[in-house]
Amino acid sequence: MKLRQIRNGNARFGFTLIELLIVITILAILASLSIAAVMKVLENKAVANTKTDISEFSNGLSRLKADLGGVKYLPSKLVLYRNKQYPATPSTDEANSQAWLEAAFGRYIFSNSVDWDGGYTSSNGPFVLEGHKCLVFYLGGIPDKSSNNCLGFSSDPTNPSNFSVTGRKGPYVAFKSNRLVRDANGFFSYNDAFDSYGSSPKPYAYFSCGHSGNDYQATDCASLGVAPYSFGSQYVNPKGFQIISAGKDQLFGAGGSNWNPASGTTDANGLDDYSNFSRVRLGTAP
C-alpha cells in the first residue's frame, strides 16, 4: 500500500487501481475455492446417504420377508384392488399380484376390502405400482392419507389396512418425509439422496426377480426409463433384487447388459449411478 499526497496537502492511505484489482481477484479465487469445497462436501454427503439408504432398504426388505412368513420374493410390480375383485380373466400381472398377496398376508386377505392407498381415494382400483412405488410400499406399508408418512401393515390377518386392532408390521425404514413423493392415488415413491441436484429428482428404482430366480422384468420401472442390469445372459443378483440410484446427474443409465462387474458401465447416464450390487459407482471398476 502506498502513501499518496492529495491536493489539500493531507496524506492518507489508499489502494491504487492495480492493487484493488489484485485484491478482488484474490477474493474471487478464495470464494470459488470455498464454494467448490462446500459442493464437494455436499456431494460426499449425498453419496454416503445414498449408500446408507440402499443398505437400509436391503435390510428392511429382509425383515419384511421374514415377517410375511418367509415369502420367496417381493415383486417389483403389483396390481392392487381395494374391493378384492380381481377380473375373472386376470392379466399376468394381476394374477401374479393376487397370488403373491395371498402368500404374503394369508388366505383371508380377500375376505374384506383393503384400503391399500390408506383411504386416499375412493377408487376401487386397479392401483398399478411399478418397482419404485413397490419399494416404498413394502418398506413403509400403507400410506398415511393425511401426511407424507407410512403406517406399516396391520396385524389383522384379514385386512392389512385395519389399524383399529393392536399390532402392526413395519414400517421397516424411517423415510424422510420431504423425499417421499405421492402419486394421484396416494402411493409414494422415494427420491434418492441426490434430490437437491438438478431440476428433476429421481426415486430409487427397484427390480425383483420372480419365481425362477433369473426372470427380472425390464418394464417394472418403465416410467423411469431404466431396466435391470445383466452381465451376458445372466441378470445381476439372480434370486435377489436390484436397487438403483440415478446419481448426481439424476439421469438413470439404461440398464440392460451394459455393466461389467470388472470394469463398470460405459453408459454416459449411468456412470454416476449407485446400486446394491456394486460398492462403487456403476461407472467405476470395483
> What residues does each domain of the chain span?
47-275
Chain centroid offset of residue 218 CA: 17
pLDDT of residue 15: 67
pLDDT of residue 3: 45
Separation between Cα atoms, residue 192 and residue 196, nearest integer Å: 9
Separation between Cα atoms, residue 205 and residue 189, nearest integer Å: 9
Query: pLDDT tens, 24-63?
Result: 877 777 777 666 666 677 688 999 999 999 999 999 999 9
pLDDT of residue 283: 94
Query: pLDDT tens, 120-132?
Result: 999 999 999 999 9
- DSSP annotation of 224 reads G
**DSSP 3-state assignment of 146?**
coil
Q: Are the beta carbons of 130 and 222 closer than 8 angstroms?
A: yes
The ranges of the chain with pLDDT < 70 are 1-15, 33-39, 42
User: Residue holding cell 438438478?
Assistant: 198
pLDDT of residue 1: 45
pLDDT of residue 39: 64
Which residues make Cβ contacts (< 8 Å) with residue 235, sequence separation at least 6? 209, 214, 216, 228, 229
Cα-based distances in Å from 119 to 115, 145, 185, 239, 267? 5, 6, 9, 34, 41
* Report field, pTM of the whole predicted structure over 0.75: yes
On the CB side of 232, CA atoms within 13 Å amount to: 4
